[in-house]
């Protein structure tokens, strides 16, 4: 699985995710820091990446467009430092890996994780 890390998360997440066995790239390595969420989503879809973000707008975009991809992983906590959230994030991605491959929105906080299959129907 290939994961695209959004600008609002540290590039340090690359090594955390790669150590867990996934390909990972931070947006700053491939695109403009000021790129819109829609541009990031389009790149992820075209290049077969899951978006990893701290931005709730990605989930809203999925719901509004009824998109079936790309999958999105949302971290919903204040402290998104890899040292703090590493084990929780890696565990959740591992648990929901198959859903992410097929198309899903995963929300993760310090206490629970939730999966919604795409397209999101609110």
pLDDT in the model for residue 121: 75
Pairwise CA distance, residues 90 & 104, whole Å: 16
Residue 13 falls inside a structural domain? yes
- What is the CB neighbour count within 10 angstroms for residue 72? 30
Residue 122 falls inside a structural domain? no
Q: Looking at the DSSP assignment, which residues form a beta bridge with residue 2? A: 23, 49
Radius of gyration of the chain measured on its C-alpha atoms: 13
Q: Assign residue 90 the CATH number of its domain.
A: 3.40.50
**Mean pLDDT score, 17-32:** 97
Query: How much of the chain, in percent, has pLDDT values that exceed 70?
Result: 99
Find the domain containing 76 and state its range.
2-117
What is the count of structural domains for the chain? 1
Which tens digits make up the pLDDT trace of 71-117?
999 999 999 999 999 999 999 999 999 999 999 999 999 999 999 99
Residue 48 falls inside a structural domain? yes
pTM of the predicted model as reported, rounded to 2 decimal places: 0.96
């Amino acid at each position: 699985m290939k994961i695209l890390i959004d600008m609002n998360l540290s590039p340090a997440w690359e090594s955390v995710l790669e150590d867990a066995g996934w390909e990972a790239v931070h947006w700053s390595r491939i695109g403009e820091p000021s790129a819109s969420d829609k541009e990031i989503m389009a790149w992820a879809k075209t290049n077969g990446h899951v978006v990893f973000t701290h931005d709730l707008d990605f989930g809203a975009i999925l719901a509004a467009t009824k998109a079936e991809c790309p999958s999105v992983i949302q971290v919903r906590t204040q402290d998104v430092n890899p040292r703090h959230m590493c084990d929780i994030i890696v565990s959740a991605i591992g648990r929901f890996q198959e859903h992410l491959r097929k198309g899903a929105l995963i929300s993760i906080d310090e206490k629970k994780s939730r999966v919604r299959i795409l397209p999101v129907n609110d």
